[in-house]
Amino acid sequence: MTIQELNQNNDHFTIHNLPYGVFSTPTKSARAGVAIGNYIVDLAKLFELNFFDGIIATNVFAQDALNDFIALGKHTHLIVRQKLQTLLKEESPFFQEYASNFIYKQCEAKMHLPVRIGDYTDFYSSEEHASNVGKMFRPNAAPLMPNWKHMPIAYHGRSSSIITTNTNIKRPNGQIIKSILEDGTHEIIYSASKTLDIEIELGFIIGKENQLGTSINTGDATDYIFGVVLLNDFSARDIQRWEYQPLGPFLGKNFATSISPWIIPYEALKEFLVDAPTQSTEVLPYLQEQNRKNFDIEITFEIETKEKQKGIAAVTNSKYLYWTAEQQIAHHTVNGCNLRIGDIFGTGTISGKEKNSFGSLLELTWNGKEKIKIGNEERTFLQDGDTVILSAVCKNEKIKIGFGELRNMIME
């Protein structure tokens, strides 16, 4: 094993990235690791080799979730990151002697959920997405609800059904409208969802807690973000449509939400902050920002069918989001709600302006009216045996990092 081998052949997990995850191998129990190239660095083993002496007192890496490491705070994360960058950039006697003890091939490891997730909140922060859905579901009204430009809208999701890559999803059953009768009553059946969809989102992993009864300012909000994952909010549109009014998402959403296994540190993503869209309506002081920024993260959504046809369904970018992560955090806590380490904030479906940048099949096929091509097959919504693949990259003139892949197959 040489430093050169680690830094080759994978432009997602470069030295500028160093994302955190939890992995196991056939002989090692679940533990924390950092991805570099096509390999994983075993942080629990590095601790045993006294690599973190003077920085971390107990082996927070020798467990199946990153929460205790995250709780050590940004200052410690920064020192750990700098030490790892030095270790993985240049050959050293320590590396030469011990590398074979703490480096594994990613292809031989199984990835787990990286954090214990207490609460999961899903926002609705893309103006393009909210407008598209409004046009489809409320065709005779204004696309956006009157409150939409005054606050980042969200709902509280379910954390027990959050899964990660390579976990299959069973097609959900539920109540579905069969027909609407002449007198306006609905004929309802119990059925497997026929309009199973995805939502392209990012998930912010909360890295710091606020006390119950206190709130977080937009100016301090980034201190509360440990890192970012890809998030696929699987959605059964037919179940959702019947139950949606007037309360909001429930069984149409809570059967599966998938997050990518590698958490990209905020520190790595800082390089890719760009100006967020100007807000067209003035917001209350607690939501105002000196400097509105979004991440420039290009996200690709692909489908691979049972017959091995593969195609890109959409490419979008988180820089389009109307409400920033800072505003989401400020709004979530303005009433004194406390955030906990490991909580996840979904951005909501990320749609761009162009049709091929819409973040759900609902929008890409305009509610199933227009088919999209996947190789020599066509799709409106997902079929059994389809694998959904989300991936994302960030690049500028100097560096590139990526999120790896988030893959989930639909089962009957």
- CB of 233 or CB of 386, closer to Mn ion: 233
- For the CB of residue 122, give the shortest distance to Mn ion in the complex, in Å: 4
State the amino acid at position 136 in one-letter form.
M
- Looking at 119, 122, 238, 243, which residue binds Mn ion (CB under 5 A)? 122
What residues from 150 to 179 belong to the interface with Mn ion (CB under 5 A)?
A: none
Closest distance of CB 72 from Mn ion, Å: 31
Name the residue nearer to Mn ion (CB basis): 67 or 195: 195
Contact 290, 276 (CB under 8 A): no
Supply the minimum distance, in Å, between the C-beta of residue 111 and Mn ion. Answer: 22
Number of residues that bind Mn ion (CB under 5 A): 3
Give the residue closest to Mn ion by C-beta: 233
Which has the closest alpha carbon to 152: 351, 360, 325? 325
**3-state class of 310 per DSSP?**
strand
379 phi/psi in degrees, rounded to 5: -135, 145
User: Nearest approach, Cβ of 222 to Mn ion (angstroms)?
Assistant: 22
Q: What is the DSSP annotation of 114-136?
A: SS----EEEE---HHHHHHHHHH
Nearer to Mn ion among residue 6 and residue 256 (C-beta): 256
* Contact region with Mn ion (CB under 5 A), list: 48-56, 192-200, 288-296, 363-371: 192-200
Tokens for 42, please give them: 């075993």
The reply to whether 197 sits near Mn ion by the rule CB under 5 A is no
Minimum CB distance to Mn ion, residue 148 (Å): 15
Binding-site string for Mn ion from residue 212 to residue 241, where x marks contact by CB under 5 A and - marks none: ---------------------x--------
* 156 included as an active-site residue: no
**CB closer to Mn ion, 43 vs 229:** 229
Tokens standing for residue 249:
């998402």
Task: Give least dist CB 143 to Mn ion, A.
Answer: 17
Token duo for residue 261: 């296994």
Extended strands (E) in 113-199: 120-123, 154-156, 162-163, 169-170, 173-180, 186-192, 196-197
x/- track of binding to Mn ion for residues 350-389 (CB under 5 A): ----------------------------------------
Q: How many angstroms separate the CA atoms of 115 and 112, rounded?
A: 9
Place of tokens 């690709």: 300
Cβ atoms 372, 353 nearer than 8 A: no
Where b means 16+ CB within 10 Å and e means fewer, 250-259 reads: ebbbbbbbbb
Helix (H) or strand (E) run with residue 240 in it = helix 237-243
Q: Using the minimum distance from each CB to Mn ion, give the nearer residue, 102 or 204.
A: 204
C-alpha distances (whole Å) from 248 to each of 196, 251, 256 are: 18, 10, 17
| Angle formed at CA 132 by CA 130 and CA 136, multiple of 5 degrees | 115
Question: Nearer to Mn ion by C-beta: 240 or 324?
Answer: 240
Alpha helices, H only, 15-92: 43-48, 67-70, 74-89
153 touches 248 (CB < 8 A): no
Give Dmax (Cα) for the chain. Answer: 81
What is the closest distance, in whole angstroms, from the C-beta atom of residue 364 to Mn ion in the complex?
A: 15
DSSP string, 323-353: S-HHHHHHHHHTT-PPP-TT-EEE------S
Burial of 4 (0-12, 13-18, 19+ CB in 10 A): exposed
Of these residues, 12, 16, 112, 129, which one is catalytic? Answer: 129
- Choose, by CB under 5 A, the member of 127, 199, 238, 386 that binds Mn ion: 199
Question: Closer to Mn ion at the Cβ: 258 or 380?
Answer: 258
For Mn ion, which is the closer residue by CB, 67 or 318?
318
- Kindly state the smallest distance separating residue 349's Cβ from Mn ion, in Å: 5
**Catalytic residue list:** 129
Contact residues: Mn ion, CB under 5 A: 122, 199, 233
